[in-house]
Chain A
Amino acid sequence: MAAKLDLLLLGLSHRTAAMEVRDRVAMAPAQVSARLEAVASIAGVEEAWIISTCNRTEVLLSLVSADLAEEERVQRIVTELVFPGVPAEAIYAYRRIMAVMHVFRVVSGLDSLVLGESQILAQVKLAFALARKAGTAKKLLLPLLQQALATGKRIRKETRVGDGTLSVARAGVDVASHVFGRFADAAALIVGAGETGKLVARNLAEHRIGRLYFLNRTLRRAAEAALLFGGQAARLDQLADFVPRADVIFACVDGAPNLIGPAIFDRKRLGRRDRPLVLVDLSVPRAVDPAVAALGNVISYDLDDLARVVDTNRNERQRASEEAAPILLAEVHKFVGLRTYASFSPAIARMRERFDQVREQELDAVAGEHATPEMIELAHRLSRHLLDVALDQLKERAKEAIEADAIGRAYQRFLEEQ
């Protein structure tokens, strides 16, 4: 007897839909709650869960029956409700165990645009909380999502799928961390307070940087960034005054070729620094003159160097994602086993009732009104032990209900269909 997994997942993501389509169907949390209630009220739908991020919008449904016509009817209504006007080829549908595998992959970051990214865990948690609040995740979706979250955490812990950054801004900070370790007693100078500069500042703030200086062509933008991340702001023409204060300089200013040249550094002072000065050039064209790298006590990187770091990280994540497959399959197997066991619940309740009846009957037949407390205790213990033995057998049967090999083959098919 296999588990009842009448699941249907409908969705679109970066794999199937362009950004404008994804934007059109994306929902804010308040909209998700309203849409959950609408979906859950469709006849034939037992439970519902919706996740909506900038890269995916998906609806997971637990259906009342496995009837194909009924399933198609629900699919049509949900598509009109959640994905209005979206081309059919942009929407994917997964059923039963395939839906379980997809959810586990999503939560683990294996289906993300940036492989292994961890933001999806928080997004799934939020979507889970919304479904619980709306009362649309219950006996099937509740344990499914709980185990999916546990699987996501386990895969991140046991593999390196989330290790190594894939963003050059973060890679720049990571590279500098090989010099400073903790940034608490370091000062960073960010030249250019645009998007890249702010991204670098955010990463440095996460590393608890000691001091931050922002320089920009317009003081207003530098001041905004300084206010946002804490630090000091100045105009770009004060560069020479701020360079000696910095332990690490991030150049994030476009259209300023060779802005930072050897002449800006006091070589004597540079030579007296205990730690080398780190220069990270994220600008196009390069804002740091290549001649700076030849100065003593300076380590300089440009976008090409960081792109190599990012490529290495991407390859490592790809390899790690292959290591994640056995964990994912083991968790899917465990989930199916637990659901199968849960499907025995009515039979277990009847069995328990019958054991109690038989015990009472036998006690009456053997001792009647003369039953001593010891006899009653013995009969209770005996029936309890026998029931435990029977339940253990049931658990074993539940585990064997679906073979691990069968799940492995299903996963292979799932990957081939992607």
Chain B
Amino acid sequence: MSGAVQALNVALPVLYLLAALLHGMSFGGPEAPQPVRTRRAVTAAALAAHLSLFLVHWSSSGASPFFDPWTTLSAVAFALAVLFLGTSWRVAESGAGGIVLGVVGLVQCLASAAGPMTARVAAEPANAIAFVHAITSISATGALLLSALHGTLFLIVLSRMKHHQFGPLVRRLPNLQTLARLMRRAALAGFLLLAAGVNIGIGWAHHSDAAGFSYTDPLVFSMIALWLFFGVVAFSSAIPGFTARRASIAAAVGGLVLLVASIAAVLPIASFHWGA
């Protein structure tokens, strides 16, 4: 089983980066080939391999794979890819696919390289509430990262347009209105998922763990702060003066904080959610 885990760990970043490269070919302009079928096949293969990794890992460890920090990071990458392809399929064929899947590939690269996947499996077997908490929190993290990525793309396209540069980025990426809509939708999805994840987590912590729920847990604190932050981003169109540009800046900053918090959570530093 560990051989299969190792093989999938090596294959996943390669598959995602290959899918990103194939999607990114649309930046090449009219002369570049557009292997639509190949890129769809590679993307589907990456998602299938990723799902297989979780199943293999789950069956080999006997515990939920999402209590292993590096697998959790890998699951965030998976959630980001699934949410992007699921909610933004209209723009996935554009250059946005190349950028988002590239980020997915890099996050997965980090998760694969920094493993080992079986190192820190939680001692207690997974229970249903904990599993739902993990799934919703991970999906929320993916959605918020997606919102941040759409926000970043918005800022890039806007900056290019302000400077009268109509290169491949402006031509191949979605228009500003679409990017703003996708950024807010992803923020809303992340907000709702995180609301569910945090509340389920609070309930689970009170029932199962002696330590219980604590706001001093750095991950809990940062996630609740980000939940409020992205809630504002999600409803920013109803807030006077909170323009799409400002919301995009907020989403991009929020995404950066989220990434730092997520990576900090998996580093072996003292008491960051999983710590002693």
Contacts and interface: CB of A to CB of B under 8 A. Distances in A.
A195 B49 CA distance: 59
B37 interface: no
A305 B29 CA distance: 20
Contacts of B237: 274
Contacts of A160: 30
B53 to A, nearest CB: 37
A245 interface: no
B180 to A, nearest CB: 7
Interface of A is mostly: helix
Interface in A133-182: 159-160, 163, 175, 177-181
A273 B170 CA distance: 21
Contacts of B30: 159-160, 163, 316, 319-320
A180 B161 CA distance: 13
Interface string A283-303: 000000000000001010100
B158 interface: yes
Size category, A interface: 20 to 34
B175 A178 contact: yes
Interface in B240-264: 240-241, 243-245
Contacts of B170: 178
B157 interface: yes
B87 interface: no
B96 to A, nearest CB: 13
A179 B177 contact: yes
Nearest to B236: A274
A44 interface: no
A271 interface: yes
Contacts of B180: 274-275
Contacts of A305: 164
A178 B31 contact: no
A275 B176 contact: yes
Contacts of A275: 176-177, 180, 243-244
Contacts of B221: none
B31 A319 contact: yes
Nearest to A305: B164
A272 B157 contact: no
Given A178-B161, A299-B162, A316-B30, A274 B175 contact: no
A290 to B, nearest CB: 12
Nearest to B160: A178
Interface string B140-183: 00000000000000000110011010100010001111101000
Contacts of A215: none
Nearest to B238: A274
A312 B167 CA distance: 10
A177 B175 contact: yes
A384 to B, nearest CB: 40
Contacts of B243: 271-275, 297
A50 interface: no
A309 interface: yes
A194 interface: no
Nearest to A313: B166
A180 B175 contact: yes
Nearest to B173: A178
A175 B178 CA distance: 15
A255 B87 CA distance: 49
A262 interface: no
A136 B237 CA distance: 63
Interface in A240-273: 271-273
A231 interface: no
A230 interface: no
A276 interface: yes
Contacts of A163: 30
B111 to A, nearest CB: 35
A276 B176 contact: yes
A156 B241 CA distance: 45
Contacts of B244: 274-275
A308 B176 CA distance: 21
Contact of A301 (B164, B175, B176, B245): B164
A274 B237 CA distance: 7
Contacts of A179: 161, 175-177
Interface in A302-346: 305, 308-309, 312, 316, 319-320
A319 B161 CA distance: 25
Contacts of A309: 166
A160 B176 CA distance: 24
Contacts of A312: 166
Interface in B10-64: 29-31
Given A271-B243, A272-B240, A272-B243, A316 B29 contact: yes
A274 B236 CA distance: 9
Nearest to B237: A274
B151 to A, nearest CB: 14
Contacts of B161: 175, 178-179, 299
Contacts of A301: 164
Contacts of B177: 179-181, 275
Contacts of A299: 158, 161-162
B139 to A, nearest CB: 27
Contact of B241 (A159, A178, A271): A271
Nearest to A171: B166
Nearest to B176: A179
A195 B177 CA distance: 30
Contact of A181 (B29, B31, B166, B178): B178
Contacts of B241: 271-272
A276 B158 contact: yes
A266 to B, nearest CB: 13
A315 to B, nearest CB: 10
B175 A175 contact: no
11 contacts: A177-B175, A178-B166, A179-B177, A180-B175, A181-B174, A272-B240, A272-B243, A276-B176, A299-B158, A308-B164, A308-B166
Given A181-B177, A272-B241, 11 more contacts: A160-B30, A175-B166, A178-B157, A181-B175, A271-B241, A275-B176, A275-B180, A275-B244, A297-B245, A309-B166, A319-B31
A-B CB proximity, top 9 nearest: A181-B175, A160-B30, A179-B176, A305-B164, A181-B177, A272-B241, A178-B175, A274-B244, A181-B178
